Amino acid sequence: MVDAARPGTAMEPTLDPAERIILALDRPDAEAALALAAAVPELRWVKVGLELFTAAGPGVVRELRRRGLRVFLDLKFHDIPATMAGACRSAARLGAELITVHACAGSEALAAAQAAAEEGAAEEGLGAPTLLAVTVLTSWDPDRFRHELAIEPPLEAYAGQLAALAAAAGLTGAVCSPLEVARLRAAHPRPFALVTPGIRPAGSDAADQRRVMTPAQAVAAGASQLVIGRPISGAADPAAAFAACCAELG
């Protein structure tokens, strides 16, 4: 059972590679997601994203926590301030320790979300979660980003601008591609958390990710934690794939 009063450690550097890896449970239902989590005995952190949460709802978060796992709720909230605040309050009450919000929602919405998350956690006797500001999704490549969204600053500079906006609003972490980690880490020293998807062990298929690094490269660049999905979840032996990622970090 998870210790409800235990503060999160996502923002702190750790020597334990297993604490750095967040397994994305991108499965269509709770049964499949729980089976995947159970197949990796050394697992500490899991990500519940839009696909799983839409299918299974809050109950899967509660069950994962009951099994002793720490939850990154990756729903990327982006709405008006009152709605974002309500969503983050509810997410914090569930016990999610990492929660994503889109930085481009703006400073008012980010500040409201942060305050509400702290209130929601306190109502349940939990430690405050870390809100992670989503900067630029790892599926974008720089040329398409510029042309389709008509955003003038280069992708890397825009990600930095959004991370700075989030920090000024009181958030203590961001999500970025590993290619932006070094730049953001220089601007936001620890304990500011930088969580990176787009992680692909050497030899893995990048699939729909465009800006990727290996686990060791991302950590060396300054990443706090790594979100890894298909290289582990799609492996014939997920436990062995997880152990290989840990070994690379170790």
Question: Catalytic positions, please?
Answer: 76
Closest CA to 52 of 24, 77, 28, 17: 28
Packed helices 178-187 and 155-168: angle between N→C axes, nearest 10 degrees: 50
DSSP run (H or E) holding 249:
helix 238-249
- Angular region, 207: left φ>0, alpha ψ -120 to 50, beta rest: left
DSSP for 68-100 reads T-EEEEEEEE-S-HHHHHHHHHHHHHHT-SEEE
For residue 206 the two structure tokens come to 């990048």
Residue with tokens 């972490």: 173
Cα–Cα distance for residue pair 88/122, rounded to 1 Å: 13
